[in-house]
Structure formats: C-alpha cells, structure tokens
Structure 1
C-alpha cells in the first residue's frame, strides 16, 4: 500500500480538562496512632489524601471528558499528546468543543455555588472525622481555579532540518497504520457481535459502518488503500435502504454486508481489495454457495415415485450448479445481487416441490369378505386307506 503524507491536511487538537479531585493532603494530625488509635477509612482518606466532599458531585466533569475524547476519536487519531484530525473537519469539531465548554462551565458554576453545602453534607455523613475534614477544606475561590476547560488547534510544520523532517514524516506515516489497525479491530468486533452465524442483521447496524466510513474518509489521504474502502462502504450503506425488509437486512444483500466487513477485518484483505485482487462480489458468491452446500448436506431430499426412474426430476443437490450459473457484474454490485435474488427465488420454487409428500402407488383396499367364486377349490382325488383284516396285516 502506498503511503501518502500531507502535513498541510492535518490539524492537531489538544484538549485540557482541569478537574479538581475533591481531595486535600492528609496531615499527621489526621492520624491517630498508638493504643486506641485508628486510621481513617478508604472512604475518607486514600494514598496520603483525604476527601473533603462527596466524589459523586464531580462525576459530571469526568463524563464530559470521556465524551470529548470519544468525539475526537470519531474524527481523528491520538497524535503528539493530542488528536490529529482532517483540516476540513476542524470547524465542525471546534464547534462541538465550544458546546462542551459551555456544558463544562455550567457544571462548574453549579458545583461552586453548592461547594460549601457539599462540604457540610460530607461532614454530616462522616461526623467522627468532621474536624479533620473542615480543617482541610479549601476556600471556594481556590477550588474554582482548579476547575477549567480549554482546547487548542494547531497545524504541523516540518523543520527545515532534513533529519527532523524524516522523523516527523515517519510519525505521520504511523497514523495510517494505526487507522488500519483500528478499522480491523472495529470490523472484527462488528462481525462477531452482529453478523457471525446469522442470515440477517438489523438496520441499526449501519450506524457502525457509517462511523467507520466517515473516519476513514476524513483521513483517506494517509493511505491510498482507504479510498476504495470508502467507496465500498458507500455502496454498502446505500444498499441498507434499498434492500431492507422491515427492520432487518436479509439475503442476498446481507452477504454483501458480511463480505464488506470481512474485507475490513483483515489488513491483508484490505490490501488485496485495494489492489483489485479481491472483490466483494467474489466473497459474497462464495458465502452463498457455501451456505447452499451446507443446507444441502444437512437436509438431504429423497424422491419416491411410482414412475420410472428416468422421469424423476433433479434433486436439491444440484443447487451448486445453479449457484455457479449466477452472472456477476463486477462493475455493479447492486446488479449482481438483483440477479442473484431472481435466481435464488427460482431455485426456491424448485426446492418447494421437494417438500411435498412422497408419491406412493395406490393400493387397492382388501375386501372385508372374500367372494366365494374367488376361492380356489382343490380338485385332487382323495386316496382312501384299505381296511385291515387283522392286526398282522400291513399296508404297503
């Protein structure tokens, strides 16, 4: 795969979240050692620090931090302690970051307004340590300075030194490799959780493919293999609306979804697809034929007929030959699957015939009483034994 580096198409966004921990330093006065002494429980003190308010009141800040990281990963990759994103996406990203800033500041104001009350509630919840907690409580103004959010966006410019430029280019090249690894991981997870062992998938699965598509499209300049991958995902996403049945995607288009995901799940297959050595049509046809063979092996059909053997129709086992006759238009994926659908329906009609009950020759019912005229009478004369004169006579 050819790696193409364009530093002028990358922007690095660095995000700073300053979130106060809600803790202060644990002092010697907070510990009671010796006879009758005790150490504060983990709820109050941990690793040299003591909590002076309920940590749950700070969860909103951490939630925003997690959501912001997820947002940046949707568009870019971790790079130089920040996130490398496409330049054309900077306005969209910074707009979302401004919204994050507004939410963060709203949470901050709510927390600062209720700070003193939060300390009081924590002391009431832990009355045995109230003295130590109030002694370590920070002023509201100090806490306010320890909670902040900001971000910076900057471009990357290579140093005039050739050696430095080579190192930077190598670093940027690694972004493409990292993105391929991320795509394969997402595709494998998607296949395992949504496609493996099934013959249909929910329409909601397209959102995962769309997220992969958008990210790869934005960073497609990092690697030439990404452009054909984006086109493949575009074709697959269009098919969701065209081939949906209710809330699901079913065969034959389902096999295109599986084929596209399997291509993305392996770095070698991505390279083969980019070079034209592998097609989604070929993979899909292979899966269809494999399923038909598996179904034939699992459910053999036997025909029973009173007619001569020469008149018996073809059995379901010939489905392989029918599948092989499907004409694939490699330039139009949708046309291929439409052709397959027609052949699949025709084949289904033939298979329905084999589900009928076996033909058994009619047998005439046996009459309740056998007619007299049908009884064969034995006409052979009976030979009688001559009488014996005495006990000594023998008959020969």
Structure 2
C-alpha cells in the first residue's frame, strides 16, 4: 500500500533580496603603467568596488541565515522552497513573521544611515571615492533592492498519475536526505565521543546536534516506516547519554550499548537490520537482542572489553560503508 505523503507536507518559500553593496569596477578605477595604482583589496575585489562597508550589511545577512536555519531545522529543500511537516507550519510561519519584522527594522536602519555610512567608508578609500559616489544607487532605487517574501502552500497535483509521481518523488527525496543527515550527524558524534573510548560523559550542549536531529526526525518520521524505528533508537540513546549531565560517566555495558545505538544510526546497513529485528517481535525483544549483539554483549554477560572494539573501523563509515562491527545477527 502506497503511503500518501503529499497531504502531510507543506512547501514554504523564503525569498530574500539583498543589495550586495558593490558596483562593477570601471576602467578609470584601475590605473596601469608608470605611477599606476590598483584599488586596495579592502575597497575592491573580483571586479567589484565596494560602495559601503560590507559590515553594514551583516545584520541583514544574519537574518537570511537565521531564516534558512529555521526552515532546515524542520525540513529539506524541495520545489524551490522547503518541504516541512504541515503540522509545524503555523509555528514556522510565526517565527518567520518575527524575522520579517526584524528585517524591515534593519532595512529601515540601513537606509536611514546609507549616505553617511557610504561617505565615511569612501573617505577611507579615496582611490575609488569619485567613481563609487557616481555609481551609488539613490535611496528610492536602493529600497527596491531589499525584500523578503514568505509564501507557503500545499502541493495538489492535477490528475492521479501526476499525484502518484510527485508523491513518489517527495518520498524518495525526503527519505534520502533525512537518512543521509542521520548518518552524517551520528558519524560525527561517534568519531568525536565514542571512537577509541570505554567511558563517556557529555553535556547538554554537546548533545545539541542529536537533540535537534531527533526533533526533525519526529516531525518527518511519517515519510517511511523505517524512521519511526530510528526515532526509537535516538530516544533511547539520548535517554542514556542524559544520565551523564550530573557529572557521572557511563561505562561498561551502558557505554557499549549506547555506542551500539550510535553505530546503528550511522550505518545504513545496520539500521536496516535493526528495523528488521524490531519488526520481527511485538515486544521489541529482538531489537534489544540486536543492540546487544552490535555492542558485542550477550544478554547476561557484562564485560569491559566487548567484541565490538576488536573491529573498530579505521575510516569514516560513510567512506567504508561495508564495515559491520559485529558478527552476523541472523
């Protein structure tokens, strides 16, 4: 039975228009030959002269980055926007409305100080002062060079075949990107926190990437059945790691089972095997046994050096994707 994901996502488009603060260098800006001089690197670069201090545009650029991070936190780029869970749309629209308000305030502040700010900048760079003043847009022209448009819509293809095709496309695209992000973040966390160690203590801040990923995974787990199981793995992992917030370490069986969970997340082959194990028993006993097998432990044995450490990968598992840190479970 095909899963209909189109009805569960919305597309949100966040389109920023920002003035670059630059203008094309003219022949008169470059004096060659005897006594010639090029504009300083601070005043010009890559064939463009800077009409204002680039730092004066930083506040607007940061708002653009903030809006993109917000959309990335809940979805993935799709159809010239971001595909996000439709039930997160009101929350994201509210947060983008705050960004829009700040954008208008920063835009007004920039325009109010534009000429004075540009004059002060060009006083520091007399070699381009005359041509830069001539190239400066007027306030009316400049106002049109700053804009923020936010739109959201549901995808509603015309016709059954078009709907099926687009549903397949969104399912495949989001599944691939979500799984790749899980692998990337889990691999980085494994290499930084687990590899070559036999105990662990973490902080709430260091778990930030995993916590953010779990929030995103919860919103998009409907994309494919596999992700509901990976959500369980992440919940289990974060619950175990949060025990160390009080300064205590996890070690022994607890450490190696936590390590097994991160290995399952960072290896697509292991995660598929975990899903098969989880689906094979209603009480999750097979999933639990699988985790212990990945950890190199049996259900009764406690060991300081499980078999897992004998096969620690020497390369990032994204490069060496055939590595499996355990004897075959099945």
TM-score bucket (shorter structure): 0.7 to 0.9
Secondary structure of 1:183's match? Answer: helix
Secondary structure of 1:286's match? Answer: coil
Deviations 1:102-140 (A, max 9, x none): 222222122111111111111210123321121112212
Which residue of the partner structure matches residue 266 of structure 1?
A: 267
Secondary structure of 1:84's match? Answer: strand
Unmatched tracts of structure 2, length 5 or more: 278-285, 310-330
Preserved CA contact (<8 Å) 2:202 2:245 = no
Question: Where do 1:165-184 residues align within 5 Å?
Answer: 165-172=163-170, 173-184=172-183
Alpha-carbon distance in 2 for matches of 1:105, 1:264: 42
Deviations 1:166-217 (A, max 9, x none): 4313321221122111111111011111222221131324333222211111
Moved more, 204-213 or 102-111: 204-213
Unmatched tracts of structure 1, length 5 or more: 296-396
Larger Rg: 1 or 2? 1
Secondary structure of 1:69's match? Answer: helix
**TM-score, scaled to structure 1:** 0.67
Alpha-carbon distance in 2 for matches of 1:68, 1:290: 47
**Does 2:329 align with 1:291?**
no
Alpha-carbon distance in 2 for matches of 1:194, 1:96: 33
Using the TM superposition, give the Cα deviation of residue 266 of structure 1 relative to its aligned residue in structure 2, in angstroms.
1.0
Which residue of the partner structure matches residue 74 of structure 1?
A: 73
Which residue of the partner structure matches residue 91 of structure 1?
A: 90
Which residue of the partner structure matches residue 149 of structure 1?
A: 148
Which residue of the partner structure matches residue 244 of structure 1?
A: 244
Preserved CA contact (<8 Å) 1:240 1:249 = no
Question: Where do 1:204-283 residues align within 5 Å?
Answer: 204=204, 205-241=206-242, 243-244=243-244, 246-251=246-251, 252-276=253-277, 279-283=290-294
Preserved CA contact (<8 Å) 1:183 1:212 = yes
Which residue of the partner structure matches residue 322 of structure 2?
A: none
Deviations 1:258-313 (A, max 9, x none): 12111100111111111117532333353964616899xxxxxxxxxxxxxxxxxx
- Structure with the larger RCO, 1 or 2 (CA within 8 Å, 6+ apart): 2
Preserved CA contact (<8 Å) 1:203 1:249 = no
Say if 1:154 and 1:40 are closer, same or farther in 2 by CA, change over 3 A.
same
Preserved CA contact (<8 Å) 2:7 2:154 = yes
Say if 1:289 and 1:143 are closer, same or farther in 2 by CA, change over 3 A.
same
Secondary structure of 1:60's match? Answer: helix
Using the TM superposition, give the Cα deviation of residue 29 of structure 1 relative to its aligned residue in structure 2, in angstroms.
3.8
Alpha-carbon distance in 2 for matches of 1:92, 1:84: 14
Say if 1:6 and 1:135 are closer, same or farther in 2 by CA, change over 3 A.
same
The CA RMSD over aligned residues, in Å, is 2.6
Secondary structure of 2:148's match? Answer: strand
Which residue of the partner structure matches residue 330 of structure 1?
A: none
Preserved CA contact (<8 Å) 1:23 1:51 = yes
Say if 1:34 and 1:209 are closer, same or farther in 2 by CA, change over 3 A.
closer
